[in-house]
Amino acid sequence: MKKKVLISDPTLRDGNHAVAHQLSAKQIESYSIAAEAAKIPIVEVGHGNGLGASSLQVGLAAISDREMLETARKHLVHSKLGIHVIPGFATINKDLKIAIEIGVDLVRVASHCTEADLTQRHISFAREKGKEVYGVLMMSHLASPELLVEEAQKMESYGAEAIIIMDSAGAYLPSDVTERIEALVNALSIPVGFHGHNNLGFAIGNSTAAIDAGATIIDATARGFGAGAGNTQLEVLVAVLDKLGFETGIDFYKLLDASDLAEKEIMKIVPTISSTSIVSGLSGVFSAFNKPVERISKLYGVDSRDVFFELGRRKIIAGQEDLIIEVASNLSKYPQKVK
């Protein structure tokens, strides 16, 4: 029997970063229909930073969380509807209750890779409501394998049924992934997954490295539609997995159709590894910072590459977009070559 890999598709969530959170209900509808037809197991939907994240800090979404989730819910029958939830942005009362009422299937509760205890209440709440719950450790390149294991174990103790580590900055090389996934698989009794970004061109290679190291869940998006240089490209990954002898349960032709549709209907531009994205990956800064960094660097007349390296030096985490202003303002007053 072929070994299985579970594919989770955040095209309609991470992809929202690529269009400044402007995905419309119509776009969510058409991709949800195509994803359902392709038998994609999990379809994640929402603002780029997940539930309750529409903000001046990260970007205001075109439509509400409710509208996004209700639209997708209508068209996802066999595919599970997933959400990304970051405590600090989303609260149980304002946000999570609504999502559960709409009928999401999978709640992925995320924190910065060292702050897992922030997820305790959200994980417990979603589990109590009978939902499937994953724990997600973001910006995982900023923690050692040992520390990641400790944080993942906390999430497991809160009730998480799988742990996903995110390479949010697209900063990993395959050996980094192997080391971390092996440590997690050895220490946890729940499945482990990987979410890649392509800033350094390794999204597919890192995903297969994760699988070789024992990961059984992989995030990937149509055409790689996602923050920065984009995510792991779903249709490529499924083809590669087929070649490697893994089963995903996905209808390959219909998946290719879904990706073609996504390119035509929901992408302004197909993600590429832009110069900014390379710098973002190299400096270890959250992929989704590229748009605000470019905009604010221009405002202060500074080099966006310097801004990225300074943000990286200060170990700025996802959600700290406001500090781009401070860094750019400082660089304009005290110019320095950061790299």
Partner 1 sequence: MKSNQKLKVAIIGSGNIGTDLLIKIMRSELLECTYFVGRNFSSPGISKASSMGIRVSDQSIDAIVREPDCCDLIFDATSAKDATYHWSILKPLGKIVIDMTPAKLGIMCIPAVNLEDALKEQNINMVTCGGQASSPIAYVIGQFVKDIEYVEVVSSIASRSAGPATRINLDEYIETTEAAVKKFSEAKETKAILNLNPAVPCVDMQTTIFARTTQPDMDALKKEINKMVAKIAGYVPGYSLLVEPIYEHGRIAVLVKVQGLGDYLPKFAGNLDIINCAAIEVAEAYAKKLAVKNSVVHH
Q: What is the set of active-site residues?
A: 17
Query: Which range in 90-98, 157-165, 215-223, 275-283 contacts partner 1 by CB under 8 A?
Result: 90-98
Q: Which of residues 119-178 bind partner 1 (CB under 8 A)?
A: 120-121, 142
DSSP reduced 3-state for 219: strand
- If the CB atoms of residues 282 and 316 are measured against partner 1, the closer one turns out to be 316
Answer for the pair 116, 90: CB distance below 8 angstroms, yes or no: no
Q: Which two tokens stand for residue 171?
A: 């900063």
Binding to partner 1 by residue 338, rule CB under 8 A?
Answer: no
Binding to partner 1 by residue 322, rule CB under 8 A?
Answer: yes
Query: What is residue 197's DSSP assignment?
Result: B
DSSP reduced 3-state for 236: helix
Answer for the pair 61, 16: CB distance below 8 angstroms, yes or no: yes
Classify strands 246-247 and 3-4 as parallel, antiparallel or unpaired.
parallel
Distance CA 274, CA 80 (A): 33
- If the CB atoms of residues 261 and 316 are measured against partner 1, the closer one turns out to be 316
Distance CA 36, CA 33 (A): 5
Please report the sign of the dihedral spanned by the C-alpha atoms of residue 4, residue 74, residue 92, residue 59: positive
Question: Which of 6, 118, 187, 338: binder of partner 1 (CB under 8 A)?
Answer: 118
Q: Which two tokens stand for residue 335?
A: 């110019």
Q: Which two tokens stand for residue 110?
A: 């995320």
Distance CA 49, CA 110 (A): 10
Binding to partner 1 by residue 92, rule CB under 8 A?
Answer: yes
Distance CA 321, CA 71 (A): 29
Longest dimension (CA), the chain: 63
Question: Which of 47, 75, 108, 112: binder of partner 1 (CB under 8 A)?
Answer: 112
Question: Which of 10, 82, 87, 224: binder of partner 1 (CB under 8 A)?
Answer: 87
Binding to partner 1 by residue 320, rule CB under 8 A?
Answer: yes
Binding to partner 1 by residue 316, rule CB under 8 A?
Answer: yes
**What's the min distance (Å) between Cβ of 331 and partner 1?**
12
CA separation (Å) from 58 to 36, 97, 322? 29, 22, 8
Question: Which of 295, 301, 335, 339: binder of partner 1 (CB under 8 A)?
Answer: 295
Q: Which two tokens stand for residue 300?
A: 């202060």
- If the CB atoms of residues 60 and 77 are measured against partner 1, the closer one turns out to be 60
- If the CB atoms of residues 112 and 223 are measured against partner 1, the closer one turns out to be 112
Query: Which range in 128-136, 241-249, 260-268, 322-330 contacts partner 1 by CB under 8 A?
Result: 322-330
Question: Which of 24, 114, 216, 274: binder of partner 1 (CB under 8 A)?
Answer: 114
- If the CB atoms of residues 112 and 197 are measured against partner 1, the closer one turns out to be 112
| Number of residues located near partner 1, criterion CB under 8 A | 32
Q: Which of residues 47-76 bind partner 1 (CB under 8 A)?
A: 55-57
* One-letter identity of residue 255: L
**What's the min distance (Å) between Cβ of 72 and partner 1?**
24
Q: Which residues bind partner 1 (CB under 8 A)?
A: 55-57, 87-89, 91-94, 112, 114-115, 117-118, 120-121, 142, 295-296, 299, 314-317, 319-320, 322-323, 325-326, 329
